[in-house]
Structure 1
Amino acid sequence: MEISSGLSPRVNSVSSGEGKKDDPNHQNFELESIDLVSHTDHQFLTLNALEILRETVRILRYNSIGFMTIAALLICPVSAVVLSNVLVYQPFVTRLSMRLLLVAKTSGLPLKPFIKQSCHKFSEVVISAVMCFPLYVTLSLLSKAAIVYSVDCTYSRKKFDSQKFYLIMTKIWKRVVVTYLWVCVVIAGCLTLFIVLLVSVSSVFSIMGFPPDLILYPAMVVGMIFSIILANAIIICNIAIVISVLEDDSGPQALLMSSSLIKGQTQVGLLIFLGSTIGMAIVQGLFEHRVKTISYGDGSSRLWEGPLLVILYSFVILIDSMMSTVFYFSCKSYRMETSSEETQPVLEALTISSAFAEVQSHV
């Protein structure tokens, strides 16, 4: 593969002229990439959030059928389950929410409606994550790998090959799952640290004699600081998944490499995360309000609003995964250009080795 080592298609379109006359679609894609640049300096290699979004839209237009197929077969089923909370056992949510409220009261926080709603929402998210874990580790993870592979194929000016993708996944599935499990550990550790820190800070202020209403303010400061830390952790985890697919690293190594890779471009990752989070929150709120709460007449509106919102939610997840992959390529190309390092195209090597093994078995 020509660019699986991490080069941006923009760099490739300027530096390589091979295959431009073979396919007019490829030529159009490359010409669109060339339009935004007139030189190949380091500033050109680092893309901001808006440029990454524009690049993502171009890739989506280039292979819209493939990405929409991934969304329909792998993302939509998970989105429908997550939005509907069909697997969430409400007694568990209530029990966990009551325990959190008890902890909040013990630490000195006032039991205001905001605190109660936050505890209930946090409990719902935790129970949903636990109950939907089999879907996350299968369909959702497979969709992420398929999206990364499709973007890599686009950058390599190759068509998505389902048979080749199957051969690759048989080789790398274990390391992708291991990386995802480490991602879950990191996110769970961040949430646990937040609860411990929040309780500790609130307890200290309570012991010092501050009234509950005033204790709420330092708790809010802790929450804002934690939200930034969690956002950075999620960005690192998303890039680590991409690394586990495209490179021969997994688990803690992929997380460390991801952290090193995005240095200096954390702001871009935060903007991508913020946009995706807002988009998913809006769709979730609409689903909660329009489908779960409101029904017109006999409730027939749910027959089209529910599936439509599931499709929108799946599309946001698709764009988020694509932008994470483009962000990886942007960071990787800048790092390779500044350090002059080279990496082996792992996916292509896996495909060749698999094909060679098949030939050997038939001989």
Structure 2
Amino acid sequence: MEREQLQHLRGILVESARILKQHRRLFFSLASTLILPLCFLLLAHHLVSGPLVHKIRHNEEFIEEHPGTSAAEHRQAEIAHEWASLLAFFIAYLLFVLAFSLLSTAATVYSVACIYTERPLSYTKVLGVVPTVWKRLLITFAWVFVMIAAYHGIAILTIHLTILSLVNVNMVLFIIILVLLILAFYSLHVYISCIWHLASVISVLEDSYGFFALRRSVDLIRVLVVLLTAVTLYGMLGQTVFYFACKSFHNEQIDWTALSEHLGAYMGEYVPLKSSIQMESL
């Protein structure tokens, strides 16, 4: 594909689809062994954490209702054990998610680079290279973690101070300022996420990693603000369409009238739908 085509969102999507189609066996193998376990962990972790959290809350309610009793003391011991189990699970969960996420990134980036450079490529070769590249990605992730932690700390502190300083002003002005502040921090969060993902690619394909990969990522994104906006918008659109696709897959009926009323409630009005939308195509 020509370089000019890759500078547009449609060109990126078409090129990605072309690579996936021409090397579907390789990417299917990578998806089955690396990406599928990652998605399973992301979607299924609540199956373990949910019951533990529910049990902890139930025991805490029992202790509040029966203070000072031997049964309450027994429940208190159970809570300590359950919190320890929950903490151990979350640590293991985060480690596995981090490992599969970095491995998936390394395998995919390396594969695409080999395709463009016309180097011989196989599933075994990719898995053999991944452990070496994984270390560079881990260092980059450590820097990203520090950056995200600092960002969240600043965001929480700023919003908290804003609420304290503006709580006595006009309510409409207070809400407007708070919404604008939240939108600004959300935009910054999206920007940091883009820097992170691009820095991960840089860590595999260039000599830079860690802080230098992040700085290189900022330099590359700065000339492509419009494309970054388009990619972010496309991701948001995809999330919404994916929601309707999931409901259709599970044969959940979509009440478009109720949905329209729900949307109209945000604006204090109700506008009935003039036509129905079919989801079978999804």
TM-score by length of structure 1 reads 0.53
Q: Taking structure 1 as reference, are residues 270 and 186 closer, same or farther at Cα in structure 2, changes over 3 Å only?
A: farther
Greater CA drift, 270-279 or 192-201: 270-279
Name the amino acid aligned to 1:10: E
Q: Deviations over 1:244-263 (max 9, x none)?
A: 11112211110001111222
Aligned pairs for 1:182-197 within 5 A: 182-197=143-158
Alpha-carbon shift at residue 66 of structure 1 (Å): 1.5
CA–CA separation in structure 1 for the residues paired with 2:236 and 2:37: 20
Alpha-carbon shift at residue 129 of structure 1 (Å): 8.5
Alpha-carbon shift at residue 204 of structure 1 (Å): 1.0
Contact 2:30–2:123 (Cα < 8 Å) also in 1: no
CA–CA separation in structure 2 for the residues paired with 1:282 and 1:195: 31
Alpha-carbon shift at residue 170 of structure 1 (Å): 3.5
2:113 is paired with a residue of what secondary structure? helix
Q: Taking structure 1 as reference, are residues 283 and 72 closer, same or farther at Cα in structure 2, changes over 3 Å only?
A: farther
Q: Taking structure 1 as reference, are residues 237 and 73 closer, same or farther at Cα in structure 2, changes over 3 Å only?
A: same
Match of 2:165 in 1: 204
CA–CA separation in structure 2 for the residues paired with 1:131 and 1:168: 25
Match of 1:178 in 2: 139
Name the amino acid aligned to 2:192: A
Name the amino acid aligned to 1:80: F
- Does residue 10 of structure 2 align to residue 64 of structure 1? no
CA–CA separation in structure 1 for the residues paired with 2:90 and 2:209: 22
Alpha-carbon shift at residue 151 of structure 1 (Å): 0.9
Match for residue 149 of structure 1 among 98, 110, 118: 110
Match of 2:126 in 1: 165
Contact 2:111–2:126 (Cα < 8 Å) also in 1: no
Q: Deviations over 1:176-222 (max 9, x none)?
A: 1111222222223222222111111111101xx22556533211111
Contact 2:29–2:123 (Cα < 8 Å) also in 1: no
CA–CA separation in structure 2 for the residues paired with 1:181 and 1:76: 24
Name the amino acid aligned to 1:147: T
State the structure with bigger RCO (CA 8 A, min sep 6), 1 or 2: 1
Q: Taking structure 1 as reference, are residues 284 and 76 closer, same or farther at Cα in structure 2, changes over 3 Å only?
A: farther
Give the gaps of 5 or more residues in structure 1. Answer: 1-8, 12-43, 96-127, 296-363
Match of 2:42 in 1: 82
Match of 2:279 in 1: none
1:175 is paired with a residue of what secondary structure? helix
- Does residue 145 of structure 2 align to residue 222 of structure 1? no
Match of 1:117 in 2: none
Contact 1:205–1:215 (Cα < 8 Å) also in 2: yes
Greater CA drift, 152-161 or 223-232: 152-161
Match of 1:245 in 2: 204
CA–CA separation in structure 1 for the residues paired with 2:247 and 2:49: 14
Name the amino acid aligned to 1:58: R
Q: Quote the sequence identity (%).
A: 25
Alpha-carbon shift at residue 165 of structure 1 (Å): 2.6
Match for residue 268 of structure 1 among 227, 238, 251: 227
CA–CA separation in structure 1 for the residues paired with 2:197 and 2:94: 17
Q: Taking structure 1 as reference, are residues 153 and 250 closer, same or farther at Cα in structure 2, changes over 3 Å only?
A: same
1:249 is paired with a residue of what secondary structure? coil
Give the gaps of 5 or more residues in structure 2. Answer: 58-88, 254-282
Q: Deviations over 1:85-136 (max 9, x none)?
A: 33545749x99xxxxxxxxxxxxxxxxxxxxxxxxxxxxxxxx987742122
Alpha-carbon shift at residue 140 of structure 1 (Å): 1.5
Name the amino acid aligned to 2:34: L
Name the amino acid aligned to 1:225: A
Q: Taking structure 1 as reference, are residues 196 and 88 closer, same or farther at Cα in structure 2, changes over 3 Å only?
A: farther
2:47 is paired with a residue of what secondary structure? coil
Name the amino acid aligned to 2:158: L
CA–CA separation in structure 1 for the residues paired with 2:228 and 2:91: 26
- In our comparison, the structure showing a higher alpha carbon Rg is 2
Name the amino acid aligned to 2:25: I
Match for residue 15 of structure 2 among 55, 60, 64: 55
Number of residue pairs matched by the alignment: 218
CA–CA separation in structure 1 for the residues paired with 2:37 and 2:193: 23
TM-score by length of structure 2 reads 0.66
Name the amino acid aligned to 2:166: F
Alpha-carbon shift at residue 141 of structure 1 (Å): 1.2
CA–CA separation in structure 2 for the residues paired with 1:242 and 1:129: 27
Q: Taking structure 1 as reference, are residues 196 and 180 closer, same or farther at Cα in structure 2, changes over 3 Å only?
A: same
CA–CA separation in structure 2 for the residues paired with 1:280 and 1:142: 24
Q: Taking structure 1 as reference, are residues 158 and 77 closer, same or farther at Cα in structure 2, changes over 3 Å only?
A: same
Contact 1:202–1:218 (Cα < 8 Å) also in 2: no
